[in-house]
Structure 1
């Protein structure tokens, strides 16, 4: 059998930085995760449905890169 260590104090689980600061806002992480997944799914659908968008993006990045070289 394997032994699993269990934390007895709540502070050990959260860590000292989770008690204060931006991470202590409830629901913020779930919302940001949802927002990121939604934008990634939208970008994937856009590139599948409209492949010319990816070609335009490559052209735009290439033209900006060439502008930095000159």
Structure 2
């Protein structure tokens, strides 16, 4: 028997950082997954555990945050 597919609602909110750049915060429900921000034409993803990684695109950063979330749940 396979499990039924369950849809998950991902929320992305944008906030201004102290340096004037935009930071996109990613949530599933009320749980904070991390954020993605542009840094000198590249993107930097930071998890909820304050681990930072460079990614090639905004979409890749979002995907990696969701993968990280699912690995630990």
- Range class of TM-score, shorter chain: under 0.3
Report the TM-score, using the length of structure 2 for normalisation.
Answer: 0.24
Q: Which structure is higher in strand share?
A: 2
Q: Which structure is higher in helix share?
A: 1
